[in-house]
Structure 1
Amino acid sequence: MDTTVDLEKTKTLECSSSVQNSNDPILVTWSSPTDSSNPLNWPTSHKWFITIFLSCGGLVCLMSSTMLATAVTTIAQDLHVSQASANMSLSIFVLAFAFGTPVLAPLAEVFGRRKVWLACGVWYVGWSVGCGFAESNGFLLAARWFAGLGSSAEYVLTSPILADIWRPEQRGLSFAIATFLPLLGPALGPLIAGLVTESIGYRWNFWILAIFDALLILGAFFFLPETYGQLLLHRKARKLAKTTGRVHYTEYDIHSLPPTTRLQKSMMRPFLMMLQDRIIQIMALLLAFNYGTLYLVLTSCASIWTESYLGSVSQSGLHYLAMVIGYTAHLKAKHQGRSAPEYRIPLMLPGIILIPAGLLWFGWAAEKHAPWPVVDAGALIFAIGIILSTQAMQQYLIEAYREHVGSAAAASQFLRNIFAFAFPIFAPALFSSLGYGWGNTTIALVFLVLAVPGPFVLWKFGAQLRASAGAVV
């Protein structure tokens, strides 16, 4: 009798356990290491299409930021404002990046890369078209600001999407190519704008880029899928829950929170990283001086050729080819995949040395009215330094902040965009009082003092600083 009772109790417990287990939440992951729905496992040809596509979007963004460098004099005359006021129409576009990226990057982590990229692209096209119809400097400044907000998404989302689809050992070459075209933008923008301004008018600079970006948006609508793995898994869990009636979840619990809570957590992340993460602070300072000096050279280059060398606007634009050649030279180097963020640091050093070297060469050659090839050689050296150091820094961030690349990119770029906005504003006064030689020497010395220690600090203490910053993200 006792044996029969024990058997009945066992069956009852097993049945109860079975019912309980059937109601337990189910963890959703990729079905296997080769799951084709995981963006990391997508066909290589598809990954390269996305990579080139993104680079074209970034090209539009950075071309838009500098295309007025050779047209500011024409704009000043047409809108009856001072040269300094016209310069604002160039730099305010970059200032908008500083306020757009800390918001748009977290939004992409909540709603997906694709939706934010498309929405912001449409926003950029609309305001860029409006820039071409501006009849006052005030409207032009406002339209450029709003266009910059939209365009910033096309640039800040490149790194997160690349991190979504490429494995660490594949990111070297893919990242170099993806960022190559965008980094041509600051040099190609003034070059093309100089030709357009003298032939069909400066307003077509806005419309041509708007048309090009509209074509990219149309292509993205059909061919750019969502790449954010966390969000794809969340959608998979939600679909399974609806189909089976059982609770499914992922290890990324943020996507199961209410929308307002998700937005609050995501929106706060870039600002917390800026305030608390030492890695982000160091990288932000390095990127800030990189971009500040880049935009200083880009805006001063046009005036050197039109004022000191008495060239035309279109001729001044052709000298930006020196920077294009400098960027291209970098692609001849091999890019090998690396998995540790610190392995990117040695690549920063050559660039950080070449930037001030190029500034000194460029500035003193222009000061002494050397033949134009000598001046352009300095710009070429400077450009090589910019692309070497910038790519190494951005790849470091991808490796160090794998799960929150968008927020890390936004946090590190805030100060960069502020510097890119401010440097062109004080550039005319700097060169007017010190000349191109001592003006560029001053910038080069400040750059050396502030930028050189950064890579050594990251090399020695980077891993320790990243470990202590884990709670921030």
Structure 2
Amino acid sequence: MGEEEPNTSSANSTLGPEEVTFEKQSSLEKQPTNVPTKQATNVVVYPETDLSQGIIGWESQDDPENPQNFTDSKKWILLSLISAFTFVSPLASSMFSPAVVYMGDEFGETNSTILALSVSIYLIGYTFGPLFLAPLSEIYGRRIVLSCANWFFVVWQIGCALSKNIQTLIVCRLFAGIGGSACITLGAGVVADLFPRETRGKATSIWSMGPLIGPVVGPIAGGFLGEDVSWQWVFWLLLILGGTMQLGIEVFNKETYAPVIIKWKVAKMAKELGRTDLESAYEVGKEKLSTGQILKRSLLRPALLLIKSPIVALLCTYMSFVYGLLYLFFTTISDVFTSDYGFSVGLSGLAYLGIGLGFAAGLFIMAITNDKIVAKMTASNGGKFEPEMRMPTMIIFASIIPISFFWYGWTADKHVFWIVPIIGMFPFGVGMMGVFIPIQTYIIDCYPAYAASANAALTATRSLVGAMLPLAGTPMFDSLGLGWGNSLLGFIALIFVPVPIVFIKYGKTIREKWPVNL
């Protein structure tokens, strides 16, 4: 395999591999460098082919093979394909939730913790999958890793549907989660591959729809399927949807990771020209590593980011907290509206629309404002962009999140008319979207060369919390009640409100003081 991609450092962390450039040297003693730079006008300069020095890059700055130069229609089609599957995979995380009671009746399982585990184990797959799928995509390319993982997800739906006991179902759900985690993780890399900084906010907003809206739509469909057909049809539907989406991806998807594309080009030109001295512009001046060394370093990359970068660790902690609150919400909604409001299992899924509409509103706000705010702040900063410019709006959205816990908790506790607690979930949906999108875009801006690995750290940590925290939700609400149980979450959310201020004020200092050599 080819050598590992170029490193980023604190000085150039806002530049990705697609933005690498080098200065052509006239002396044979001088070696071209792969230090990422930009022209004074902030125009990205891409590395070009220089056969006299044995360097293979793009044919020109406008090379149509460079993913950054794809037409807008091609870019959005590719992103839409990834986003479509990114909706199906999170759909599977919660779609089974309302139907789990029917599965429990069939298998004779009454332990609430085991039943909850059969749902949340899927997110454990989200915890482990990104840690090796993301680095592999930075070695072998996005397309092949995404394709294999998506088909892996689809195949395990068959195992879930045909399970004869709960143990088999839990194992199949775990493996399905591992496969389904690819689109959640690699989407960040595809956004970095295709879109310049100026449009990444909008692109990230569209890609983020799936991971946030999928878990909301899931219980709605799953409730009616479990009630009117069978719980097995939850998985047959996921098989049909996933298989159809992946067939479309197979037809239209293209490789987008620049270093891998150039690596293929090097191999092709070396064969055509009969030269053995050709080298990728993305690997110039780098240490030559064996395949084993590349794999080892790449697979460690998400852990290195999490352990050695305080800003990544802090963002992971904050995102995990908010994500955990979402799944704690999910533990109560179905029971509240079936037990206290007399909804059927199918109708109880409609209660999730409060959060879902909040997500849609938050997504719309972020899509039309995020890039514009960054552009304005960059202009006022003398044209110099800083990733922390993604963060100011987080203060507002973080302040909105706690509202829902007090509103929903006490109105549900006092059995206020059913529409009131549903509306009470709306602020949480808006706030969560307004927190997630800036964090994910910030990570892409900081580590575009390794956006998939950086996002893997976010995905793994938040999925672990999302899987484990709901297991404690039922005992907590049984002890404190809906009112005080949700109020406790609301007070904790209030404590976290100032966290975005820390990111805005000290994020750059922390990021530059503790750079990570990837």
TM-score, structure 2 as length reference: 0.84
Alignment check: 8 A CA contact 2:185 2:456 kept? yes
Cα separation, 1, equivalents of 2:211 and 2:451: 18
The residue correspondences of 1:59-458 to structure 2 (distance < 5 A) are 59-82=87-110, 83-246=112-275, 247-253=277-283, 257-333=289-365, 334-337=368-371, 338=374, 339-449=385-495, 451-458=496-503
Matched with 1:8 is none
Q: Does 132-141 or 250-259 show the bigger shift?
A: 250-259
**1:137: Cα distance to partner?**
0.8
- Quick check: which one's helix share is greater? 1
Matched with 1:468 is 513
**1:340: Cα distance to partner?**
2.9
Cα separation, 1, equivalents of 2:180 and 2:323: 17
Alignment check: 8 A CA contact 1:361 1:378 kept? yes
**1:336: Cα distance to partner?**
4.7
Equivalent residue of 1:86, what SS? helix
Alignment check: 8 A CA contact 2:444 2:451 kept? yes
Alignment check: 8 A CA contact 1:51 1:178 kept? yes
Equivalent residue of 2:120, what SS? helix
**1:330: Cα distance to partner?**
2.3
Cα separation, 1, equivalents of 2:223 and 2:197: 40
Equivalent residue of 2:226, what SS? helix
Given residue 264 of structure 1, which amino acid in structure 2 is its aligned partner?
K
Please identify runs of 4+ aligned residues in structure 1 that moved more than 4 A.
22-25
Alignment check: 8 A CA contact 1:134 1:140 kept? yes
Given residue 441 of structure 1, which amino acid in structure 2 is its aligned partner?
S
Q: Structure 1 residues 412, 359: closer, same or farther in 2, change over 3 A?
A: same
2:69 pairs with 1:41: yes
**1:51: Cα distance to partner?**
1.5
**Could you list the per-position Cα deviations for residues 426-471 of structure 1 after superposition, in whole angstroms to 9, with x for gaps in the alignment?**
111011000111111112222332x334322221222222223434
Equivalent residue of 1:252, what SS? helix
Matched with 2:58 is 30
Matched with 2:41 is none
TM-score, structure 1 as length reference: 0.92
In structure 2, stretches of 5+ residues that fail to align are 1-27, 29-49, 375-384
**Could you list the per-position Cα deviations for residues 390-449 of structure 1 after superposition, in whole angstroms to 9, with x for gaps in the alignment?**
111111111111111011011122221111011211111011000111111112222332
Alignment check: 8 A CA contact 2:204 2:440 kept? no
In structure 1, stretches of 5+ residues that fail to align are 1-16
**Could you list the per-position Cα deviations for residues 88-114 of structure 1 after superposition, in whole angstroms to 9, with x for gaps in the alignment?**
111000011111111111011111111
Alignment check: 8 A CA contact 2:363 2:434 kept? no
Cα separation, 2, equivalents of 1:425 and 1:30: 52
Cα separation, 1, equivalents of 2:497 and 2:61: 41
Q: Structure 1 residues 366, 341: closer, same or farther in 2, change over 3 A?
A: same
Given residue 444 of structure 1, which amino acid in structure 2 is its aligned partner?
G
Alignment check: 8 A CA contact 1:159 1:405 kept? yes
